[in-house]
Amino acid sequence: MEIIALTGEEYLAGQTLLIDKPLNWSSFQVVNKLRWLIRQEHKIKKIKVGHAGTLDPLATGLLLICTGKSTKTISDLQGQVKEYTGTITLGGTTPSYDLETEINETFDTSHITADLIQAVTKQFVGVIEQYPPVFSALKKDGKRLYEYARAGEEVEIKPRKIEIVEFEITNIQQHNIDFRVVCSKGTYIRSLAHDFGKALNSGAHLSKLRRTKIGNYNVDNATTIENFEENLKNV
Protein backbone atom coordinates (compact mmCIF):
# COMPACT_ATOMS: atom_id res chain seq x y z
CA MET A 1 0.00 0.00 0.00
CA GLU A 2 1.29 3.47 -0.88
CA ILE A 3 1.16 5.71 2.19
CA ILE A 4 0.31 9.37 1.80
CA ALA A 5 2.57 11.58 3.93
CA LEU A 6 0.59 13.45 6.60
CA THR A 7 1.36 16.44 8.77
CA GLY A 8 1.16 16.55 12.54
CA GLU A 9 -1.92 18.76 12.24
CA GLU A 10 -3.64 16.10 10.12
CA TYR A 11 -2.95 13.40 12.71
CA LEU A 12 -4.36 15.67 15.42
CA ALA A 13 -7.41 16.49 13.29
CA GLY A 14 -8.07 12.75 13.01
CA GLN A 15 -6.91 9.80 10.92
CA THR A 16 -7.92 6.15 10.67
CA LEU A 17 -4.80 4.11 9.91
CA LEU A 18 -4.94 0.57 8.53
CA ILE A 19 -2.13 -1.46 10.10
CA ASP A 20 -1.26 -5.09 9.37
CA LYS A 21 -0.45 -6.23 12.92
CA PRO A 22 2.56 -8.55 13.11
CA LEU A 23 2.71 -11.80 15.05
CA ASN A 24 3.58 -11.56 18.76
CA TRP A 25 2.66 -7.88 19.06
CA SER A 26 -0.24 -6.90 21.32
CA SER A 27 -2.70 -4.33 20.01
CA PHE A 28 -1.63 -2.06 22.89
CA GLN A 29 2.01 -2.29 21.76
CA VAL A 30 1.05 -1.22 18.23
CA VAL A 31 -0.88 1.78 19.58
CA ASN A 32 2.06 2.80 21.78
CA LYS A 33 4.55 2.41 18.93
CA LEU A 34 2.54 4.54 16.50
CA ARG A 35 1.80 7.20 19.12
CA TRP A 36 5.51 7.45 19.92
CA LEU A 37 6.48 7.63 16.23
CA ILE A 38 3.95 10.37 15.44
CA ARG A 39 4.95 12.41 18.48
CA GLN A 40 8.68 12.06 17.75
CA GLU A 41 8.56 12.84 14.05
CA HIS A 42 6.08 15.73 14.30
CA LYS A 43 7.23 17.14 17.64
CA ILE A 44 3.77 16.74 19.17
CA LYS A 45 3.60 16.75 22.98
CA LYS A 46 0.29 14.94 23.28
CA ILE A 47 -1.98 13.08 20.87
CA LYS A 48 -4.80 10.61 21.39
CA VAL A 49 -4.27 7.26 19.68
CA GLY A 50 -6.44 4.14 20.06
CA HIS A 51 -7.43 0.96 18.27
CA ALA A 52 -10.87 -0.25 17.15
CA GLY A 53 -10.88 -3.88 18.21
CA THR A 54 -8.24 -5.97 19.97
CA LEU A 55 -6.23 -8.65 18.20
CA ASP A 56 -4.48 -11.24 20.37
CA PRO A 57 -0.66 -11.30 20.16
CA LEU A 58 -0.81 -14.64 18.30
CA ALA A 59 -3.13 -13.16 15.65
CA THR A 60 -2.08 -11.05 12.67
CA GLY A 61 -3.96 -8.80 10.31
CA LEU A 62 -6.09 -5.70 10.19
CA LEU A 63 -5.89 -3.30 13.13
CA LEU A 64 -7.62 0.06 12.78
CA ILE A 65 -5.65 2.77 14.58
CA CYS A 66 -7.44 6.08 15.17
CA THR A 67 -5.61 9.31 15.94
CA GLY A 68 -6.71 12.67 17.30
CA LYS A 69 -10.38 13.46 16.87
CA SER A 70 -10.95 10.19 14.99
CA THR A 71 -10.72 8.34 18.32
CA LYS A 72 -14.35 9.41 18.77
CA THR A 73 -15.29 6.95 15.98
CA ILE A 74 -13.72 3.91 17.70
CA SER A 75 -17.00 2.68 19.20
CA ASP A 76 -18.72 2.76 15.79
CA LEU A 77 -15.81 0.94 14.12
CA GLN A 78 -15.79 -1.75 16.82
CA GLY A 79 -19.41 -2.52 16.04
CA GLN A 80 -18.71 -3.37 12.38
CA VAL A 81 -18.84 -6.93 11.06
CA LYS A 82 -15.41 -8.58 10.94
CA GLU A 83 -13.86 -11.26 8.73
CA TYR A 84 -11.14 -13.69 9.82
CA THR A 85 -9.20 -16.53 8.26
CA GLY A 86 -7.27 -19.11 10.22
CA THR A 87 -6.63 -22.71 11.16
CA ILE A 88 -8.34 -24.97 13.71
CA THR A 89 -6.24 -27.95 14.81
CA LEU A 90 -8.14 -31.05 15.89
CA GLY A 91 -7.23 -33.60 18.53
CA GLY A 92 -6.15 -31.42 21.44
CA THR A 93 -7.43 -28.61 23.66
CA THR A 94 -5.55 -25.87 25.49
CA PRO A 95 -6.72 -23.75 28.48
CA SER A 96 -6.47 -20.57 26.38
CA TYR A 97 -8.15 -22.23 23.35
CA ASP A 98 -5.10 -21.27 21.26
CA LEU A 99 -1.31 -21.74 21.34
CA GLU A 100 -0.72 -19.29 24.19
CA THR A 101 -0.88 -22.31 26.52
CA GLU A 102 0.18 -25.94 26.16
CA ILE A 103 -2.14 -28.78 25.12
CA ASN A 104 -3.78 -30.12 28.28
CA GLU A 105 -5.93 -32.91 26.84
CA THR A 106 -5.90 -35.04 23.69
CA PHE A 107 -8.84 -36.62 21.88
CA ASP A 108 -9.62 -39.28 19.30
CA THR A 109 -10.14 -37.93 15.77
CA SER A 110 -10.53 -41.20 13.87
CA HIS A 111 -14.30 -40.70 13.48
CA ILE A 112 -13.98 -37.23 11.92
CA THR A 113 -14.59 -37.01 8.17
CA ALA A 114 -14.68 -34.10 5.74
CA ASP A 115 -18.47 -34.51 5.48
CA LEU A 116 -18.84 -34.33 9.27
CA ILE A 117 -16.68 -31.20 9.41
CA GLN A 118 -18.79 -29.49 6.74
CA ALA A 119 -22.03 -30.53 8.47
CA VAL A 120 -20.93 -29.24 11.88
CA THR A 121 -20.07 -25.78 10.51
CA LYS A 122 -23.79 -25.26 9.84
CA GLN A 123 -24.53 -25.55 13.58
CA PHE A 124 -22.57 -22.37 14.21
CA VAL A 125 -24.11 -20.09 11.56
CA GLY A 126 -26.59 -17.55 12.89
CA VAL A 127 -27.15 -16.09 16.36
CA ILE A 128 -25.54 -18.40 18.93
CA GLU A 129 -24.47 -18.31 22.57
CA GLN A 130 -20.73 -18.33 23.17
CA TYR A 131 -18.62 -18.51 26.33
CA PRO A 132 -15.60 -16.16 26.15
CA PRO A 133 -12.24 -17.83 26.91
CA VAL A 134 -11.07 -17.59 30.52
CA PHE A 135 -7.77 -16.36 29.05
CA SER A 136 -9.26 -13.08 27.82
CA ALA A 137 -9.12 -9.39 28.73
CA LEU A 138 -12.78 -9.23 29.73
CA LYS A 139 -13.29 -7.89 33.25
CA LYS A 140 -15.15 -9.49 36.15
CA ASP A 141 -15.26 -7.76 39.55
CA GLY A 142 -12.55 -5.35 38.43
CA LYS A 143 -10.06 -8.00 37.30
CA ARG A 144 -9.22 -9.32 33.85
CA LEU A 145 -10.31 -12.91 33.28
CA TYR A 146 -6.77 -13.92 32.33
CA GLU A 147 -5.60 -12.74 35.78
CA TYR A 148 -7.91 -15.28 37.42
CA ALA A 149 -6.79 -17.95 34.95
CA ARG A 150 -3.07 -17.38 35.50
CA ALA A 151 -3.60 -17.46 39.26
CA GLY A 152 -5.40 -20.79 38.95
CA GLU A 153 -8.64 -19.29 40.31
CA GLU A 154 -11.98 -20.50 38.98
CA VAL A 155 -14.42 -17.85 37.89
CA GLU A 156 -17.97 -18.03 36.56
CA ILE A 157 -18.25 -16.85 32.97
CA LYS A 158 -21.63 -16.12 31.44
CA PRO A 159 -22.35 -16.83 27.75
CA ARG A 160 -22.96 -14.00 25.31
CA LYS A 161 -25.04 -13.87 22.16
CA ILE A 162 -22.99 -13.34 19.03
CA GLU A 163 -23.69 -13.83 15.32
CA ILE A 164 -21.73 -15.92 12.85
CA VAL A 165 -22.76 -14.56 9.45
CA GLU A 166 -20.59 -16.95 7.40
CA PHE A 167 -18.47 -19.97 8.37
CA GLU A 168 -16.63 -21.53 5.45
CA ILE A 169 -14.14 -24.40 5.50
CA THR A 170 -11.51 -23.59 2.87
CA ASN A 171 -9.11 -26.55 3.28
CA ILE A 172 -8.76 -29.75 5.28
CA GLN A 173 -5.31 -31.27 5.70
CA GLN A 174 -5.13 -34.07 8.26
CA HIS A 175 -5.81 -32.44 11.66
CA ASN A 176 -5.66 -28.87 10.36
CA ILE A 177 -8.84 -27.16 9.16
CA ASP A 178 -8.51 -23.82 7.36
CA PHE A 179 -11.54 -21.54 7.60
CA ARG A 180 -13.04 -18.14 6.86
CA VAL A 181 -15.48 -16.57 9.30
CA VAL A 182 -17.60 -13.41 9.08
CA CYS A 183 -18.95 -12.48 12.49
CA SER A 184 -20.35 -9.81 14.79
CA LYS A 185 -18.64 -7.73 17.43
CA GLY A 186 -17.72 -9.70 20.54
CA THR A 187 -17.04 -13.00 18.78
CA TYR A 188 -14.08 -14.98 20.07
CA ILE A 189 -12.65 -17.14 17.29
CA ARG A 190 -10.73 -19.09 19.95
CA SER A 191 -14.04 -20.05 21.56
CA LEU A 192 -15.43 -20.96 18.15
CA ALA A 193 -12.48 -23.33 17.60
CA HIS A 194 -12.93 -24.89 21.05
CA ASP A 195 -16.69 -25.34 20.59
CA PHE A 196 -16.16 -26.70 17.08
CA GLY A 197 -13.97 -29.46 18.51
CA LYS A 198 -16.65 -30.36 21.06
CA ALA A 199 -19.33 -30.44 18.35
CA LEU A 200 -17.17 -32.98 16.51
CA ASN A 201 -17.10 -35.14 19.69
CA SER A 202 -13.41 -34.45 19.92
CA GLY A 203 -11.25 -31.49 20.93
CA ALA A 204 -9.68 -28.58 19.04
CA HIS A 205 -7.78 -25.35 19.45
CA LEU A 206 -7.03 -22.30 17.31
CA SER A 207 -3.55 -22.56 15.78
CA LYS A 208 -3.59 -19.59 13.40
CA LEU A 209 -5.69 -16.42 13.04
CA ARG A 210 -5.67 -13.42 10.72
CA ARG A 211 -8.22 -10.60 10.60
CA THR A 212 -8.87 -9.68 7.00
CA LYS A 213 -11.74 -7.16 7.17
CA ILE A 214 -13.53 -4.74 9.50
CA GLY A 215 -16.63 -3.39 7.79
CA ASN A 216 -15.45 -1.95 4.47
CA TYR A 217 -11.80 -1.83 5.57
CA ASN A 218 -9.59 -4.57 4.09
CA VAL A 219 -6.17 -5.79 5.22
CA ASP A 220 -5.10 -5.66 1.56
CA ASN A 221 -5.04 -1.87 1.98
CA ALA A 222 -3.11 -1.95 5.26
CA THR A 223 0.54 -1.10 5.83
CA THR A 224 3.15 -2.62 8.13
CA ILE A 225 4.57 -0.82 11.15
CA GLU A 226 7.97 -0.74 9.41
CA ASN A 227 6.56 0.93 6.30
CA PHE A 228 4.62 3.43 8.41
CA GLU A 229 7.80 4.37 10.31
CA GLU A 230 9.84 4.68 7.10
CA ASN A 231 7.21 6.90 5.52
CA LEU A 232 7.09 9.18 8.57
CA LYS A 233 10.85 9.72 8.39
CA ASN A 234 10.68 10.56 4.68
CA VAL A 235 8.13 13.36 5.05
- Residue 233's pLDDT is what? 74
For residues 206 and 190, the answer to whether their CB atoms sit within 8 Å is yes
Q: Which domains does the chain have, with CATH numbers?
A: 8-79+218-233 (3.30.2350.10), 82-214 (3.30.2350.10)
Active site residue 56: yes
User: 235 falls in which pLDDT band (50, 70, 90)?
Assistant: low
- Summarize pLDDT for 114-146 with one digit per residue, the tens: 999 999 999 999 999 999 887 766 676 677 776
Average pLDDT rounded to a whole number, residues 7-22: 94
Question: pLDDT higher for 204 or 8?
Answer: 204
- Residue 158's pLDDT is what? 85
User: 4 falls in which pLDDT band (50, 70, 90)?
Assistant: low
Question: Global pTM?
Answer: 0.92
- Summarize pLDDT for 138-184 with one digit per residue, the tens: 676 677 776 766 767 777 778 999 999 999 999 999 999 999 999 99
- Residue 137's pLDDT is what? 67
Average pLDDT rounded to a whole number, residues 221-231: 93
* Statement: residue 73 has pLDDT above 80: yes
* Statement: residue 48 has pLDDT above 90: yes
For residues 132 and 191, the answer to whether their CB atoms sit within 8 Å is yes
* Statement: residue 55 has pLDDT above 90: yes
- Residue 157's pLDDT is what? 79
> Per the residue annotation, which of 56, 76, 115, 220 is the catalytic one?
56
Average pLDDT rounded to a whole number, residues 19-43: 96
The residues near 108 (Cβ < 8 Å, ≥ 6 apart) are: 91, 202
